[in-house]
């Protein structure tokens, strides 16, 4: 068995190694790094002892509790205050269900038509139009400030949280720590956890109200903690950013995201098109080198309905979401911006189509 002196020495060595990291350096300590650090300073005869088997047999909850201590060290190294660390981790708990959700998220492939039938319901479209009218003034303020058409703000709101009705109930600190501990995307979730702690640190919300989906998406616009840090905006000037309850902040944050990612106020997202029978499918996709002007696409036989002549010189891409079958779309850079939000053709198309339907006469 590992004696107490060896255990203390190992722990001190680990803390020393972490504290030696450069002050401003991104630090993401993994379980494997912790294990390798302890292994490097622990005699082989101890590493090969029954302690190893005992560790393997311990419950996830017990090992998770020890892992939290490592996360606290990382948080302190990232500049998070002791007070915030104590508040955030006091009631942390192991969330097995988020691990299961993460493992089960691969679903049977469905077609674009099937997906759109599920998400672009008459109810969602009607609710979008209703909210577009109800919040016209608030939307107009953010649309003007960020140069983002209001219908896209509403469409993202509708797709992400069903207009604020489905924002998630998981404790974000516990969820991010559990997913980091599970290990498959540890660095990603450790960093998300550190950003969640930063949100608490800046005083916008307290740990008990920091809620979201099992994967960490928060509030009515479903921002990950890293997106909150980068894009969340104070829409009403009260000095607090609340994407959970404050509709002005929700609209401002959504608009700010699109603006920062390069939205072109003079352009639309795209349009559905018809391809000629002999069209070269190698030209399809969003790779930068596959961009052509609308005029160039027309010369290749693509049937495109333009809104104005200025579109003829705009760069555009052609996509076919269902593996080079059935429906095809010509998309402008604004579609790429929506893809930054969620890397899914289906999602970006559903937001685009919902936005169109919201302002449809």
Q: Which tens digits make up the pLDDT trace of 121-141?
A: 999 999 999 999 999 999 999
Q: For residue 183, what are its two tokens?
A: 């290990």
Which of 344, 361, 360, 359 is closest to 139 using CA atoms?
A: 359
Give the pLDDT of residue 83: 96
Distance CA 341, CA 62 (A): 36
Q: Determine contact, residues 232/241, Cβ cutoff 8 Å.
A: yes
For the cut 90, the answer to whether the pLDDT of residue 95 exceeds it is no
Distance CA 122, CA 116 (A): 11
| Tens digits of residue pLDDT in 139-153 | 999 999 999 999 999
Q: Average pLDDT, stretch 170-188?
A: 93
Give the pLDDT of residue 323: 72
Give the pLDDT of residue 58: 52
Cα 13-18-20 angle, rounded to 5 deg: 95
Give the pLDDT of residue 61: 77
Q: Determine contact, residues 316/292, Cβ cutoff 8 Å.
A: yes
| Tens digits of residue pLDDT in 253-305 | 999 999 999 999 999 999 999 999 989 999 999 999 999 999 999 999 999 98
Give the pLDDT of residue 179: 93
Distance CA 96, CA 92 (A): 13
Q: For residue 327, what are its two tokens?
A: 């429906």
For the cut 80, the answer to whether the pLDDT of residue 52 exceeds it is no
Distance CA 116, CA 355 (A): 13
Q: Determine contact, residues 128/354, Cβ cutoff 8 Å.
A: yes
Q: Determine contact, residues 17/64, Cβ cutoff 8 Å.
A: no
73 CB neighbour count, 10 Å cutoff:
18
Give the pLDDT of residue 346: 95
Helix 60-77 vs helix 186-201: crossing angle, to nearest 10: 60
303 CB neighbour count, 10 Å cutoff:
12
Give the pLDDT of residue 208: 92
**Does the global pTM surpass 0.85?**
no
Give the pLDDT of residue 107: 52
Distance CA 212, CA 168 (A): 4
Three-state SS across the chain? CCCHHHHHHHHHHHHHHHHCCCCCCCCCCCHHHHHHHHHHHCCHHHHCCHHHHHHHHCCHHHHHHHHHHHHHHHHHHCCCCHHHHHHHHCCCCCCHHHHHHHHCCCCCCCCHHHHHHHHCCHHHHHHHHHHHHHCHHHHHHHHHHHCCCHHHHHHHHHHHHCCCCCCCCEEHHHHHHHHHHHCCCHHHHHHHHHHHHHHHHCCCCCHHHCEECCCCCECCCCECHHHHHHHCCCCCCCCCCCCCCCHHHHHHHHHHHHHHCCCCCCCCCEEEEECCCCCCHHHCCCCHHHCEEHHHHHHCCCECCCCCHHHHHCEEEEECCECCECCEEEECHHHHHHHHHCCCHHHHHHHHHHHHHHCCC
Q: Hunting for tokens 């203390």 — which residue is that? A: 8
Distance CA 143, CA 131 (A): 15
């Amino acid at each position: 068995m590992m004696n107490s002196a060896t255990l203390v020495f190992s722990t001190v060595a680990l803390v020393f190694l972490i504290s030696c990291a450069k002050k401003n350096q991104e630090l993401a300590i993994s379980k494997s790094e912790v294990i390798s650090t302890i292994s490097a300073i622990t005699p082989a005869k101890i590493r090969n002892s029954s302690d190893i088997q005992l560790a393997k047999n311990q419950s996830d909850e017990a090992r998770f509790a020890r892992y939290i201590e490592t996360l606290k060290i990382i948080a302190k190294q990232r500049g998070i205050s002791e007070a915030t660390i104590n508040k955030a981790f006091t009631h942390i708990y192991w969330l097995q269900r988020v691990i299961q959700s993460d493992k089960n998220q691969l679903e049977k492939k469905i077609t674009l038509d099937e997906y759109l039938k599920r998400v672009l319901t008459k109810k969602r479209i009607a609710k979008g139009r209703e909210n577009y009218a109800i919040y016209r003034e608030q939307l107009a303020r953010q649309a003007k400030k960020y140069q983002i058409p209001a219908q896209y703000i509403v469409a993202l709101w509708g797709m992400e949280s069903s207009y604020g009705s489905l924002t998630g109930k998981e404790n974000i600190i516990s969820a991010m720590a559990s997913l980091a501990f599970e290990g498959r995307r540890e660095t990603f979730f450790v960093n998300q956890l550190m950003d969640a702690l930063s949100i608490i640190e800046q005083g916008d919300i307290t740990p008990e109200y920091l809620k979201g989906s099992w994967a960490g998406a928060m509030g009515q616009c479903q921002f990950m903690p890293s997106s909150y840090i980068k894009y969340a905006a104070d829409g009403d000037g009260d000095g607090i950013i609340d994407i959970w309850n404050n509709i002005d902040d929700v609209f401002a944050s959504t608009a700010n995201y699109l603006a920062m990612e390069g939205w072109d106020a003079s352009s639309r997202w795209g349009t559905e098109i018809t391809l000629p029978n002999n069209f070269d499918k190698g030209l399809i996709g969003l790779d930068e080198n596959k961009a052509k002007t609308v005029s160039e696409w027309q010369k290749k036989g693509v049937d495109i309905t333009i809104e104005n002549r200025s579109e003829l010189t705009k760069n555009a891409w052609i996509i076919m979401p269902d593996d080079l079958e059935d429906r095809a779309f010509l998309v402008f850079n604004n579609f790429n911006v929506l893809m930054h939000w969620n890397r899914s053709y289906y999602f970006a198309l559903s937001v685009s189509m919902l936005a169109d339907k919201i302002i449809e006469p």
